[in-house]
Amino acid sequence: MAELLNGKELAKEIRQKLKEKVEKEQLTPNLAVILCGNNEASKVYVRNKSKACDEVGIKFKEYLLPNETKQEELLELIDKLNQDESVDGILLQSPIPKGLNIQEAFARISPEKDVDGFNPYNVGKLTIGEDGFIPCTPYGIMKIFEKYKIDLEGKKAAIVGRSNIVGKPMAQCLLSHNATVTICHSKTKDLKQELKDADVIVAAVGKRNIIKADMVKEGVVVIDVGMNRNDEGKLCGDVDFENVSKKASYITPVPGGVGPMTIAMLMNNVVKAHLMKGTK
């Protein structure tokens, strides 16, 4: 039976250390969050980020934009926040309404305030192994590996999902720790074949129970990024947890695995942005 990778507890530790640092050094980090449209899940995520900010001691301001917002209006707000010296981090909550260009918006956020790590400048820094802002979910997963002393060097790692938010930056993070990385996606012809030799699997596709026990080998490390609902309405991941956990050596639960770590690393990035500003 697999050992649970408790992201909830680790995230609590990280938030506590950040809180102590903010208090001891009398820091005043400030996060601006743009919520565009009426996506209910996004509202929940933003509330969770607000709570974490309160806990750590980060000032939090939410900017609500209606569904009818035009691209120019969104970019104008980003420009205004870029120029506001009191703002350390800018986060544009996704998804945004159809018709708006999220990549253009991410690119407009100043690289020094891009605490989500989605500006092309920070994407490039991650690719070439330089220090910048790492997207929060892959960063959180790497912290889980570090906490549980899971050695990645020379290991075969398979990522299911190729999003700019998780899949692609996750591949770069694993490569930086000398894993051999395969990225699987909707056009992968034989997912089972790709996964069966993997020492580490990161599932980030958003489809319930897509990873089954007969697709993984004994002793595999499984990271489940999926956030889905089962027939009873309970949160579940992309992995058939009940059966895969019997073969895995380590596995993240859903909820309580990757989700809390994503928010913890956002807090980390905001404090980092604030400290970077102070060194200029």
Question: What are the tokens at 235?
Answer: 């949160």
Residue 52 CA to residue 266 CA, distance in Å, equals 9
- Identify the three-state secondary structure at position 63: strand
Question: What are the tokens at 83?
Answer: 């120029």
Catalytic residue among 88, 113, 114, 116: 116
What string of DSSP letters covers 21-41? HHHHTT---EEEEEEES--HH
Question: What are the tokens at 161?
Answer: 């999902």
- Identify the three-state secondary structure at position 62: strand
Residue 155 CA to residue 181 CA, distance in Å, equals 8
Q: Is 80 a catalytic residue?
A: no
Question: CA–CA distance from 82 to each of 74, 75, 77 (Å)?
Answer: 12, 10, 9
Catalytic residue among 88, 93, 114, 272: 93
Q: Residues 240, 168, 53, 279: what is their CA dihedral angle, to the nearest 10 degrees?
A: 150
Tell me which residue of 263, 268, 271, 265 sits closest to 30, measured CA to CA: 271
Residue 192 CA to residue 38 CA, distance in Å, equals 38
Tell me which residue of 60, 36, 37 sits closest to 48, measured CA to CA: 60
- What is residue 187's DSSP assignment? T
Task: Please count the other Cβ atoms lying within 10 Å of the Cβ belonging to residue 112.
Answer: 19
Q: Is 116 a catalytic residue?
A: yes
Catalytic residue among 49, 113, 247, 272: 49
200 DSSP β-pair partners: 157, 221
**Which sequence positions are flagged as catalytic?**
49, 93, 116
